[in-house]
Chain A
Amino acid sequence: MKPTDINNPEYFHKVVDCQYACPAHTPVPQYIRLIAEQRYSEAYMLNWESNVFPGVLGRTCDRPCEPACRRGRVEEDPVAICRLKRVAADFKDDIHSQLPTIPAQKNGKRVALIGGGPASLTVARDLAPLGYEIDLYDDQKAGGGFMRSQIPSFRLPESVLNEEVNYILDMGITTHFNHHVKSLKSIVDKQYDAIFVGTGAPRGRDLSKLPGREEADDNIHIGIDWLANVAFEHTSKIGKKVLVLGGGNTAMDCCRTARRLGGEDVRVVVRSPQSEMKASHWEIEDTLHEDIPIFENHTPKEFVVDNGKLVGMHFEKVKAVYDEAGKRSLVPTGEDLVFMECDDVLMAIGQENAFPWIERDIGVDFGQWDMPIVDETTFQSTLKSVFFGGDAAFGPKNVITAVAHGHQAAISIDLYCQGESVNHRPAPGVNLISQKMGFHEWTYDNAVSNDERFIVPLADKEAALKNRKMEVELGFDVQQAFDEAQRCLNCDVQTVFTDDKCIECDACADVCPTDCISFVGNGEEDDLRTRLSAPSHNLEQDLYVSDALKTGRVMVKDENVCLHCGLCAERCPTTAWDMQKFFYSVTKAGQSCAE
């Protein structure tokens, strides 16, 4: 193999698995260290810079970082990254003084944001400090979009959401709430310099063809609409027996909300096996914890109506069958239909985008599935002044993805408004610096904690089920937060190898607790992987290969299960190995291309 080019920032970036997996590339290990040092405000601001809603995401993120966490490859569970983020938000001081100053003198450019969710708010956060005048339109009475209407208060207290939404709105954003935009043309006509569409995926799927659907309409609710009605207090109760259809996170929110609104026998009924449900496993756990059973492999067949009122549903039992390509089909088992009684049904079987309000003749072209054609890097539509982001761009994802879109769209809008090419993207900010302090001494805690993942304490179940607004998770206390933070392996502290310093004494290979390092003859990657000190099966993790050493061999380090403990560098007599902290930050609008 060719020597690894560590000057390419993406190489070490990929070693920081959590940061690499995060759509917004939040510098996770760095903020976890700050939490361990009780520097909560700094930890919060580092998050805020990157993901804009640390308090919200610390409670509700889909956490793509956690399955990626290296810790999960050397033991059972990854670091509780998400809940540590919440710790930063919970324990921070007043951070108002650290927010960017908004210039009194504007730059003369006006931007409209349609939709007040995480994508639009991120665009506002990035552009307002640059002097843009920003108008935000949303049909809800307050900002936050789906974070406000879809995420129940027992998971995300309104005060936390308000705080983080207001940090942005207080940047002098002109809000037009309770304003449903019915025509994009009407906005285009207002002569904005750029328009950002962050309207989410607002339409919940229905089972309109199922028998009984129309007759039972009074007691059948689309999950996302129903959750919004609860959030805005148009709905305050539900029947005692409730069926929730669907296996995603919205279904979990629906059933748990139903339990708090009077539902006593609440059931989740899902077509697939439980193991394949889309919901995050922790949300499934929380659901089961609240005595909500999940019925898997049940396909809805009929709404059963008696005297014009819904009394139950029929389901067909199926089983999952997989073809050779691994594609799943749900095949009826032939058993009798299952009848379940119910007073209400909540349908949480998916969301769709819908753009009835965008005129098809104003230059925004639409493609497959009636979705706008949007550039995946620049988020620009075919109408150059109109940008999309969040669920509105490429369909339903999650908050952190919407934030990442917002940052990139803001860069594009800034470039576009300044008359530059939107393809002229800024490089990431990178820093790599030695962490050596002295003999056996590093700036980071290189000892590896043996603790297992700490469980976030929960509120008393009975009390929580009585109050829709009572937050279920209590969050880590200071000590738990410290102990959990210490589980982080500091993957951003990189093992950097300088080949011309190496005397091939083998000390690093001998001391490495996880046998990551080998000195072998070079070869192609497939071949090299068979000749290393330890099995090297994880092809997603790179091999770090040096140039040829004096003996003609090369140093090969399998990044897969490196604990970043620094022992290789401790035992290296020539400092050919050094532990260097790699800081990678996604460049934001306005910092771009300072050449």
Chain B
Amino acid sequence: MSYLRPNFRHPDLKTNEIGYTKADYEGGLSTLCAGCGHDSIGASILQACFELSIEPHRVAKLSGIGCSSKTPAYFLGASHGFNSVHGRMPSVATGANLANRDLIYLGVSGDGDTASIGMGQFAHVVRRNLNMVYVVMNNGCYGLTKGQDSATADKGSASKKGAPNPYEGIDLCEMAIQLGAGFVARSFSGDKQQLTPLIKAAMSHQGFALIDVVSPCVTFNNNAASTKSYDFVREHSEATGTFDFVPMKDEIITQYNAGDTEEVTLHDGSVVHLHKMSKELKLNDRSSAMHEIERYKSKGQILTGLLYLDPLTPDTHELLGTTDKALNSLTETQLCPGNAALQSINESFR
């Protein structure tokens, strides 16, 4: 009996620009149920960080409680990590980000952790526009406690138990758009071709980036009556378009038809191209995004892909006027400027 990952890797693994292979971004071996969508999302995050040539120590993974929140143990083993209290990941992320704005903050949460116990925290971290990627591994059920319907379960959807959910499901993407997030996307764990570039773009976005990823729970919510099963999502999802992410350093060589393709330059100079399926959608128009999401929902479909993007929203640091350096890089004299400085501050309030 053994459940161990061998040490051998493919002998010809590619290296990225900083000389790492994908193996350098691995974490521990997953203890989630076999076939869990969350593992695919973890693999996409790993792939995105490899492709972006991010040094693992520049990433901080933050999570709450739940199946989703276990997953940071299974990727980016050499990165920072904080597994926090249920629903309180946004607070911890906020504190960490305020202390060290130089890291890439990757919040990993689930539908319960975000839309139930953590709803208040989620709403306010969006409003503050904290510079982070917030991934929701959304399976519409509480997989860790035997699969009860969660707050994101669609009305009428039934899990393995068979009782249709009587409540309206919370749409986290619509909420995030309404609350001022600059980057909002929806994806599917079973579609890495879409998910991986979305994660890359989200990591390059300055400000709050939400990716709500439908991630089937194979154990409790992958049955025929569920709207978050592999089969249902595959049959009912419609993408806003195909998606390219071009990092800043790469030259843009492809020409696109202006009418069908929307091009957005992110804060760090990288460019996002969306080759739109739906001409109705305007990427930086909140009402257009909300309308499109609802329009597909009313047809019984799930709209996936990049839904809303405004690269110029001011993030928490800008809103609060904090120091532009990480606290750990400040000297003692900067942090404790002395009595004269205090007097001058006090004076300014008189």
Contact = CB atoms under 8 A, between A and B. Distances in A.
Interface of A: 73-75, 437, 440-442, 445-448, 450, 503-507, 509-511, 513-516, 534-535, 537, 550-551, 561, 563, 565, 567, 570-574
B143 to A, nearest CB: 13
Please classify the interface of chain B as helix (H, G, I), strand (E, B), loop, or mixed, using the class held by over half of its residues: loop
Given A448-B4, A505-B216, A567-B5, 10 more contacts: A447-B6, A507-B34, A510-B39, A511-B39, A513-B5, A516-B10, A534-B13, A535-B10, A561-B10, A565-B5
B5 A573 contact: no
A573 B223 CA distance: 13
Nearest to A566: B2
A515 B13 contact: yes
A282 B37 CA distance: 50
Contacts of B29: 511
A509 B39 CA distance: 10
A518 to B, nearest CB: 11
Given A503-B230, A506-B43, A565 B10 contact: no
B162 interface: no
Please classify the interface of chain A as helix (H, G, I), strand (E, B), loop, or mixed, using the class held by over half of its residues: loop
Contacts of A537: 12
B39 A440 contact: no
A574 B8 contact: no
Contacts of B37: 505
Contacts of A446: 2
B30 interface: yes
B34 A513 contact: no
Contacts of A504: 190, 230, 234
Contact of B43 (A445, A510, A573): A510
Nearest to A437: B1
| Most chain B CB within a 10 A radius of its CB, from A440, A506, A509 | A506
B36 A507 contact: yes
A505 B36 CA distance: 7
A447 B4 contact: yes
B339 interface: no
A27 B222 CA distance: 42
Interface string B33-54: 1111101101100000000000
Interface string B1-25: 1111111111111100000001000
Given A504-B230, A506-B40, A510-B42, A573 B8 contact: no
Given A505-B216, A535-B12, A450 B7 contact: yes
A514 B42 CA distance: 17
Contact of A445 (B2, B9, B189, B218): B2
B6 A571 contact: no
Which 9 A-B residue pairings sit nearest by Cβ, starting from the closest? A573-B35, A448-B6, A447-B2, A510-B43, A535-B12, A534-B10, A505-B35, A440-B3, A74-B8
Contacts of B280: none
B285 interface: no
A75 B9 CA distance: 10
Contact of A441 (B1, B6, B36): B1
**Size category, B interface:** 35 or more
B231 interface: yes
A515 B10 contact: yes
B8 A506 contact: no
A534 B22 CA distance: 10
A74 B11 contact: yes
B35 A511 contact: no
B192 interface: yes
| Most chain B CB within a 10 A radius of its CB, from A75, A509, A515, A516 | A515
Contacts of A447: 2, 4, 6
A448 B216 CA distance: 31
B6 A513 contact: yes
B10 A572 contact: no
A441 B230 CA distance: 27
A563 B8 CA distance: 8
A572 B33 CA distance: 9
11 contacts: A74-B11, A445-B2, A447-B6, A503-B231, A504-B234, A505-B40, A505-B230, A507-B34, A515-B10, A563-B6, A573-B218
A507 B40 contact: yes
A73 B10 CA distance: 9
B302 to A, nearest CB: 16
B35 A574 contact: yes
Contacts of A550: 231, 234
Nearest to A565: B6
B3 A505 contact: no
Contacts of B35: 503, 505, 507, 571-574
A441 B3 CA distance: 8
Contacts of B11: 73-74, 561
Contacts of A563: 6, 8
B217 to A, nearest CB: 11
Nearest to A506: B40
A537 B14 CA distance: 13
Given A505-B40, A506-B43, A507-B36, A534 B2 contact: no
Contacts of B36: 505, 507, 573
| Most chain A CB within a 10 A radius of its CB, from B10, B36, B192 | B10
Contacts of B40: 505-507, 510
Given A534-B12, A535-B12, A550-B231, A507 B39 contact: yes
A446 B3 CA distance: 8
Interface string B220-241: 0010000000110010000000
Interface in B64-89: none
Contacts of A507: 34-36, 39-40
A272 to B, nearest CB: 30
Contacts of A565: 5-6
Interface string B170-206: 0000000000000000000110100000000000000
Contacts of B9: 513-515
A506 B7 contact: no
A75 B8 contact: yes
A500 B30 CA distance: 25
A446 B30 CA distance: 17
Given A504-B230, A505-B216, A571-B35, A440 B2 contact: yes
A445 to B, nearest CB: 7
A516 B39 CA distance: 17
Nearest to A569: B34
Contacts of B30: 511, 571
Contacts of A437: 1
Contacts of B190: 504-506
